Chain A
């Protein structure tokens, strides 16, 4: 056994390496994401966007982060200090934890030790994601409440109602994915149909002819429902009523300044990246993609390339929406969530279950009739 192999056979070493790598990767991803968004929105509005710090302004986010580090963090008089200080951290934790269960590349082996390009492969990964995103609500409601000020409180309560409404829609939209995974792994029950690595594996092969076996071809309505819910869940335009600057100043983080604000900002962009990466994993085959018969020493990069390319395309969709659509009114927002998305998700789930059942087992009465 080589030294590297022995190290990776150790649970603690593997965990530590993966966690640090994922943390660094997420930070770099956010830095690039903010820059990409500013550049794209600038292009769409016929502006130049950031172009001073670094090549094409790429280091603008780093500069902004450093600036916020050196800015005064005002603590207003009426805050509830403990919760006020804890809220930005509470926003960061779920944002980083969600990414841990998403596989970003093909597993490889060092000697005989298998290493997955996924921080941890839970058998309840999908529920873990839902659990973390339901905890993300706390940062918002606590920040709003602890600020002891009008606009944050209004923004916080508004945000909570919005996030929980769309959380329900998001959960319902994801059930068909598990259902399809269960139907496709016929006979292999017990392998964990909620494990994201398993869901990616099941998307290998082809749907029809040249079309890859991505779940989106079965579950296009689910993807649309999920994506709308995800935009609302991350409080992005056109659902950014949480920080509707024309009515609520800055929403729940009005009273946050300096680096505390930077942490909220970081978490928001991380969430956008996370929901895109999750959509790629569940609907677009994750890291799967052709490697064009490249030699092995370079072919291992291709899964990573495909994963990040697909994720970037979805992130682009987010940015595109922001640059295009005006903000919804609050009653429109709640109507869309409760009166459109949730009923549609329920009906689609039942429809899909019926069709899948017919395809898998035939009509239920054939058995009874003999």
Chain B
């Protein structure tokens, strides 16, 4: 029988303290026993042995941002689905219909994003989509 009161979270707090304590103590211990001889070469950022020629890139392709945004969308979906699944028995066909509509809209989102090439990490393939899109855009413009 699962607990719902606050005492169920006591072990979690204790484990958190224990793990953090273990990590800190062991790192401190390592500091005591391990040698420390930093040399200018040693503390350079790793670059396979050569002198680093340039700073690490500070900017990233916008695609990573797309993935994170899609993840937010699907995470919300998952949370709703869990709430529905937990009371599946209680809600009956009605609940299934409600979630079915929701899921349909979500699949539609996925299809849209997919068709627009946002899920394509393979560059040649995305170019193909965009070329087709550009052609369609030109056609629209000439028609107008």
Contacts and interface: CB of A to CB of B under 8 A. Distances in A.
Q: Please say whether the chains A and B touch (CB closer than 8 A).
A: yes
B131 to A, nearest CB: 18
B68 A161 contact: yes
B123 to A, nearest CB: 8
B41 to A, nearest CB: 10
Contacts of B56: 148-150, 153
Contacts of A150: 45-47, 52, 56-57
Interface string A331-353: 10011001100110010011001
Contacts of B121: 330-331, 334-335
A171 B56 CA distance: 34
Contact of A100 (B7, B12, B90, B110): B12
Contacts of A122: 2-3, 8-9
Contacts of A20: 18
B19 A74 contact: no
A76 B119 contact: no
Contacts of B122: 331, 335
Interface string A24-49: 00000000000000000000000000
B88 A179 contact: yes
A192 interface: yes
B81 A123 contact: no
A249 B82 contact: no
Given A157-B60, A258-B30, A346 B43 contact: no
Majority secondary structure, B binding face: helix
Interface string A64-101: 00001111111111100000010011001100110010
B74 interface: yes
Contact of B4 (A123, A338, A349): A123
Given A70-B34, A150-B56, A168-B78, A75 B10 contact: no
B119 A259 contact: no
Contacts of B57: 150, 153
Majority secondary structure, A binding face: helix
Contacts of A194: 82, 86
B114 interface: yes
Contact of B93 (A97, A100, A331, A357): A357
Pick the most buried of A20, A164, A176: most chain B CB atoms within 10 A of its CB. A164
A274 interface: no
Contacts of B31: 73
Contact of A97 (B16, B27, B82): B16
A199 B61 CA distance: 42
Interface in A341-370: 342-343, 346, 349-350, 353-354, 356-357, 360-361, 364
A234 interface: no
7 contacts: A72-B37, A120-B3, A122-B3, A150-B56, A172-B77, A172-B78, A353-B99
Interface of A: 11-12, 15-16, 18-20, 22-23, 68-78, 85, 88-89, 92-93, 96-97, 100, 119-123, 125-127, 130, 134, 147-151, 153, 157, 160-161, 164-165, 167-168, 171-172, 175-176, 178-179, 182-183, 185-187, 189, 191-195, 197-198, 249, 254-255, 258-260, 263, 330-331, 334-335, 338-339, 342-343, 346, 349-350, 353-354, 356-357, 360-361, 364
Considering the complex of A and B, which 8 residue pairs feature the smallest CB-CB distances, nearest first? Answer: A331-B121, A195-B2, A149-B45, A259-B30, A171-B78, A178-B85, A123-B2, A179-B85
Given A122-B2, A168-B75, 16 more contacts: A23-B15, A69-B34, A72-B37, A89-B23, A89-B24, A92-B19, A92-B23, A93-B16, A123-B2, A172-B77, A179-B88, A186-B89, A249-B46, A334-B67, A353-B88, A357-B92
